[in-house]
A and B are shown apart, each in its own frame.
Chain A
Amino acid sequence: MGGLAELVSPEEILLHILNMIILFLLLRKLLYKPVRKFMQERKEGLAASLEEAEQAHAKAEKLKIEYEARIADAEENARARALEITAAANASAKTMAESARAESVALLDKARDDARQERAKALDGMQQQVATLAVGVAERILQREVNKSDSERLAAAFFQDMEKGGEMA
Chain B
Amino acid sequence: MWFLHELLDLAQHYGVLVIALLGAVLGFAFRRGAKRRLAIVEAPTGRQKLPVRVWTLVAVTGAWIFAVLLISLVFRDEDKGRFEAPEIHPKVVENVFGIHGLSISPTLLTTWGIMAVLVGLALLLRLTVLRRMKQNPKGVQLLLETMVEGLDKYVGDKLHGMSVSFGAYIFALALLLVCSAAVELLGLHAPTADINMAIGLSLITYFLVNYYGFKRKGFFGRIKSYLGIRPANEPGLRCGQKVKAEMKQLAKPQTIAAPFRILSDLVVPLSLSCRLFGNMFGGMVIVELLYWALHHRAVGIPSVAGLFFNVFHPLIQAFIFVTLTLSYIEEATAEE
Contact = CB atoms under 8 A, between A and B. Distances in A.
B172 A8 contact: no
B168 A12 contact: no
A17 to B, nearest CB: 5
Query: What does DSSP make chain B's interface, helix, strand, loop or mixed?
Result: helix
B119 A20 contact: no
SS class of chain A's interface: helix, strand, loop or mixed?
helix
B123 interface: yes
Which range holds the interface residue count of chain B? 35 or more
A20 B171 contact: no
B164 A33 contact: yes
Contacts of A16: 107-108, 111, 196-197, 199-201
A27 to B, nearest CB: 5
Given A15-B108, A20-B204, A27-B168, A34 B152 contact: no
A12 B122 contact: no
Given A17-B200, A27-B118, A6 B89 contact: yes
Interface stretch (A35-43, A75-83, A104-112): A35-43
A9 B196 contact: yes
Given A16-B201, A30-B119, A35 B195 contact: no
B225 to A, nearest CB: 27
Given A16-B197, A24-B168, A30-B126, A36 B148 contact: yes
A27 B145 contact: no
A22 B118 CA distance: 12
Nearest to A16: B200
A19 B119 CA distance: 12
Interface in A54-75: none
A168 interface: no
A20 B148 contact: no
Given A16-B200, A16-B201, A24-B169, A30 B115 contact: no
Interface in B184-235: 195-197, 199-201, 203-204
Nearest to A12: B196
Contacts of A42: 135
B108 A12 contact: yes
A8 B199 contact: yes
Interface in A4-18: 6-9, 12-17
A24 B165 CA distance: 9
A159 interface: no
B172 A27 contact: yes
A22 B112 CA distance: 11
A101 interface: no
A93 interface: no
Nearest to B171: A32
Contacts of A1: none
A141 interface: no
Contact of B168 (A6, A8, A9, A33): A33
B250 interface: no
B164 A19 contact: no
Contacts of A17: 200, 203-204
Contacts of B123: 30
Given A7-B195, A13-B199, A32-B168, A20 B176 contact: yes
B169 A36 contact: no
A35 B227 CA distance: 43
B69 interface: no
A28 B148 contact: no
A30 B167 CA distance: 14
A142 interface: no
Interface string A151-163: 0000000000000
A92 to B, nearest CB: 70
A28 B173 CA distance: 11
A81 to B, nearest CB: 55
B326 to A, nearest CB: 16
A25 to B, nearest CB: 9
Given A31-B126, A34-B130, A38-B133, A24 B172 contact: yes
Q: Which 9 A-B pairs have the closest CB atoms?
A: A16-B200, A28-B168, A30-B122, A32-B168, A12-B196, A24-B172, A17-B200, A27-B172, A13-B200
Given A12-B107, A16-B199, 17 more contacts: A8-B199, A12-B108, A17-B200, A19-B108, A19-B111, A19-B115, A20-B176, A20-B201, A20-B204, A27-B172, A28-B169, A30-B122, A30-B126, A31-B126, A33-B168, A34-B126, A34-B130
8 contacts: A24-B168, A27-B122, A27-B172, A30-B119, A31-B122, A32-B148, A36-B167, A39-B149
